Amino acid sequence: MKTPYSAFSLLRGAFNGQKHWEPAWRDPEPRASYDVIIIGGGGHGLATAYYLAKVHGIRNVAVLEKSWIGGGNTGRNTTLVRSNYRLPQLHNFFEFGLKLWHGMSDELNYNVMFSPRGAMFLGHNDGDMIKLAERGDAMRCDGIDAELLTPKQIAKIEPLLDLSRNARFPIDGAVIQWRAGTARHDAVAWGYARAADALGVDIIQKCEVTGFVRDGNKITGVETTRGRILAGRTGICVAGHSGQVAGLAGLRLPIESQTLQALVTEGVKPMVQSVVMSQSLHCYISQSDKGGIVMGGDPDNWPSYARRGQPTVVEGAIAQAVSIMPALSRLRMLRTWSGVTDMSFDGAPIIGPTPIDGLFLNGGWCYGGFKATPASGWTYAHTLATGKPHELNAPFSLERFMTGATIDETAVGPMPNHR
Amino acid sequence: MYQIACPHCGPRAQLEFTYERTVDAVVDPVADAATAMQALYTRANPMGLDDEIWRHTYGCRAWMVLTRHRVTHEITAVKAIGPEALP
């Protein structure tokens, strides 16, 4: 049993030089076989392992990570958590996750610094406002909070927005979800890793999957850089590189990989209270707990695995942010980053079985991976434990592209690069 | 930002070009449902070279096929397509 993180533990440590702390998770050698192998030690993979052990009692589980845990897209996002989607399949799924976010620090005994500060989508014209009202209505019909704001109400929350009529993007209103917010991205991976490890899950880092062990149409294990490991069920959870890993099993996925960029400025005193987004633009603005303004979220609109984006995309994001919040122009940029994201062909994720027995897929997260972490883990654990999807991830099957049941929030069609 | 050598205009800033889809994603109008679905909805998505259809949207507006590396962005071949490519 690990020493719990608490004020009491800290106080106890004051008398022994804080020497009673143990590593947050073990560094085990891989065993010859497991009940379940999860490929990918990001937030989603670790959450899946945690819920497999906690909810389904399956503890003979390994999480295989080719580099270090949380080093992929879990560490390369804009840390936003929200459930404000119009389509019921999406908002019900993300709302289930949002509820888990609200209790996550207690559940994991790890401070994930979840800060429900409100997330608002700005509308810049009549068309935007109609779409926002429609979205808010759809959410409220399913019991999710959404509030339509007038420019006067917005000014009270975000006084630095350019609310004048001659702004480049005049602000006509917004819809806000107060229960949405931000979280500390690394802590989510570490918290799930520590909690899963305590339940007996093996987290094996620096272990790259190089192939699958096949028996007819069944996957019975994986070949890795640390040898062959057998498994009852194998789950791919490597969004960004889903096509690569699924390709090792001979699958072609409805996914194209693109890089998605964001940036952070120097730290300043509180100036952005909520998370500001826009219906017409694609720039998210929020302030981290350290004070840096985090902006961005736009992809290079062509396939790429280069974890360095094009400067023109960052320039575009900054131009948009400065046009709606001019005071940002005074800040200096600290750094930019980019992550490789799975862009699926309808903008919704894929979680469920594949045509190959024993092989499951969780990927295609597009812009929405981080906020989905707990819901993704919960439903994927259910799918891996029972072999069947949970009611929340049933709509996100791989077959939906063949059957025409796509979940296209932005109604773009099968063009990931236009989304 | 890198440059793309348009077969008609010569080297131009990549910003002038837009990506459309890969060559193997063109749907044959007489293909059966399964083949059409494969073309429309699935990609090889390699971590290496792939043949991609791009358009010089903010230039001569012609279509072309780039053989482009998806990690290094190196372009190894550019081929004109469409009526302009005919002799």
Report pLDDT for A66. Answer: 96
The residue written with tokens 């930002």 in the block is B1
Residues in chain B closer than 8 A to A244 (CB atoms)? 45, 47
Residue A230, H or E segment = strand A227-236
Closest chain B residue by Cα to residue A401: B41
Closest CA to A24 of A246, A139, A193, A207: A193
Indicate the residue of A241, A255, A306 with minimum beta-carbon distance to B73: A306
pTM: 0.95
Residues in chain A closer than 8 A to B46 (CB atoms)? 243, 247
Closest chain B residue by Cα to residue A302: B19
CB proximity A244 to B under 8 Å: yes
Residues in chain B closer than 8 A to A305 (CB atoms)? 47, 70-71
Asked if B45 and A345 come within 8 Å (Cβ–Cβ), the reply is: no
Asked if A302 and B37 come within 8 Å (Cβ–Cβ), the reply is: no
Domains along the sequence of chain A with CATH: 32-79+185-255+346-418 (3.50.50.60), 112-181+259-339 (3.30.9.10)
Closest CA to A278 of A418, A185, A407, A162: A162
CA–CA–CA angle A77, A79, A81 (5° rounding): 125
Indicate the residue of B19, B47, B50 with minimum beta-carbon distance to A417: B19
Report pLDDT for A410. Answer: 87
- Measured distance CA(A267)–CA(A93) in Å, rounded: 34
Report pLDDT for B1. Answer: 63
pLDDT digits (tens, 9 = 90+) for A324-372: 999 999 999 999 999 999 999 999 999 999 999 999 999 999 988 999 9
Helix A185-198 vs helix A369-386: crossing angle, to nearest 10? 20
Closest CA to A274 of A370, A113, A154: A154
Q: Is the pLDDT at A1 greater than 60, yes or no?
A: no
Indicate the residue of A244, A254, A417 with minimum beta-carbon distance to B41: A254
Report pLDDT for A412. Answer: 85
Q: Quickly state the pLDDT bin for A85 (edges 50, 70, 90).
A: very high
Report pLDDT for B49. Answer: 96
Residues in chain B closer than 8 A to A243 (CB atoms)? 43-46
- Measured distance CA(A68)–CA(A64) in Å, rounded: 10
Q: Which pair of structure tokens corresponds to residue B4?
A: 């793309």
Report pLDDT for A335. Answer: 92
**φ/ψ of residue A300, rounded to 5:** -75, 125
For chains A and B, count residue pairs whose Cβ atoms are closer than 8 Å.
66
Residue A133 exposed, middle or buried by CB count within 10 Å (0-12, 13-18, 19+)? middle
Q: Stretch A12-39: mean pLDDT, rounded?
A: 94
Asked if A243 and B70 come within 8 Å (Cβ–Cβ), the reply is: no
pLDDT digits (tens, 9 = 90+) for A14-24: 999 999 899 99
Distance (Å) from the alpha carbon of B59 to chain A's nearest alpha carbon: 18
Distance (Å) from the alpha carbon of B26 to chain A's nearest alpha carbon: 12
Domains along the sequence of chain B with CATH: 3-85 (3.30.2270.10)
Q: Stretch A192-218: mean pLDDT, rounded?
A: 97
pLDDT digits (tens, 9 = 90+) for B16-64: 999 999 999 999 999 998 899 999 999 999 999 999 999 999 999 999 9
Asked if B70 and A255 come within 8 Å (Cβ–Cβ), the reply is: no
The residue written with tokens 């020497």 in the block is A19
pLDDT digits (tens, 9 = 90+) for A393-412: 999 999 999 899 999 998 88
Reduce the DSSP state of residue A361 to 3 states and report it: strand
Residues in chain B closer than 8 A to A255 (CB atoms)? 43, 45
Indicate the residue of A253, A255, A402 with minimum beta-carbon distance to B37: A402
CB proximity A347 to B under 8 Å: no
Closest chain B residue by Cα to residue A312: B1
The answer for residues whose C-beta is within 8 angstroms of residue A203's C-beta and 6 or more apart is A25, A26, A27, A28, A41, A46, A49, A62, A63, A65, A69, A193, A196, A197
Q: Stretch A20-30: mean pLDDT, rounded?
A: 94
**φ/ψ of residue A73, rounded to 5:** -70, -20
**φ/ψ of residue A287, rounded to 5:** -115, 130
Residues in chain A closer than 8 A to B42 (CB atoms)? 252-254, 401
Average pLDDT, chain A: 95
Report pLDDT for A39. Answer: 98
Q: In percent, how much of chain A has pLDDT > 90?
A: 89
Q: Is the pLDDT at A417 greater than 60, yes or no?
A: yes
Report pLDDT for A179. Answer: 97
Q: Stretch A50-69: mean pLDDT, rounded?
A: 97
pLDDT digits (tens, 9 = 90+) for A254-305: 999 999 999 999 999 999 999 999 988 888 999 999 999 999 888 888 999 9
Residue A373, H or E segment = helix A369-386
Closest CA to B69 of B44, B51, B42: B51
Closest chain A residue by Cα to residue B55: A302
**CA A211 distance to own-chain centroid:** 26
Q: Is the pLDDT at B85 greater than 90, yes or no?
A: no
Q: Is the pLDDT at B71 greater than 90, yes or no?
A: yes
Please state whether beta strands A227-236 and A33-39 pair in parallel, antiparallel, or not at all (unpaired).
parallel
DSSP per-residue string spanning A276-342: EEESSS--EEEE-TTSEEEEEEEEPSS----SS--HHHHHHHHHHHHHH-GGGGGSPEEEEEEEEEE
pLDDT digits (tens, 9 = 90+) for A212-267: 999 999 999 999 999 999 999 999 999 999 999 999 999 999 999 999 999 999 99
Residues in chain B closer than 8 A to A414 (CB atoms)? 40-41
Closest CA to A362 of A339, A340, A344: A344
CB proximity A66 to B under 8 Å: no
pLDDT digits (tens, 9 = 90+) for B9-22: 999 999 999 999 99
In A160-226, beta strands by DSSP E: 173-177, 181-182, 202-204, 209-215, 218-224
SS3 letters across A111-125 = CCCCECCCEEEEECC
Indicate the residue of B22, B37, B44 with minimum beta-carbon distance to A401: B37
Q: Is the pLDDT at A41 greater than 70, yes or no?
A: yes
- Measured distance CA(A299)–CA(A90) in Å, rounded: 21
CB proximity A259 to B under 8 Å: no
Q: Is the pLDDT at A414 greater than 90, yes or no?
A: no
Indicate the residue of B15, B21, B70 with minimum beta-carbon distance to A312: B15
- Measured distance CA(A298)–CA(A262) in Å, rounded: 7
Q: In percent, how much of chain B has pLDDT > 70?
A: 94
Residue B85 exposed, middle or buried by CB count within 10 Å (0-12, 13-18, 19+)? middle
Q: Quickly state the pLDDT bin for B87 (edges 50, 70, 90).
A: low
